[in-house]
Amino acid sequence: MTKQRRGNTQSQPQEMPAATAAVAPTARVEMIAVAAYYLAEQRRFSPGQEVEDWLRAEKEIESRLQSGFPSSSG
């Protein structure tokens, strides 16, 4: 004989994993690359700030993924 739980038959809500865990690494890199491209475009592709563009884009994408909002371009 198996024991049955009484009372609430609905399962307890489970905490969702961080959004970054749900995004494939290749998709994450692609999102960062696109965001970095748009940052470079905004500064008219002047040379010498590519690393800064990437780091800023990476920070923005990570923030958006953590907050659950999709990345938007433009």
Residue 4 lies in a domain: no
* Residues making up the chain, counted from first to last: 74
Q: How many structural domains are present in the chain?
A: 1
Query: Helix (H, G, I), strand (E, B), or coil: what is residue 68?
Result: coil
Q: What is the pLDDT of residues 29-70, one digit of tens each?
A: 999 999 999 999 999 999 999 999 999 999 999 999 998 865
Residue 47 lies in a domain: yes
| Contact between 29 and 3 (Cβ < 8 Å) | no
What is the number of H-type helices and E-type strands within the chain? Answer: 3, 0
Q: Looking at the whole model, is its pTM more than 0.85?
A: no
Q: Residue 44's domain spans which residues?
A: 39-67
Average pLDDT in the 1-17 region? Answer: 51
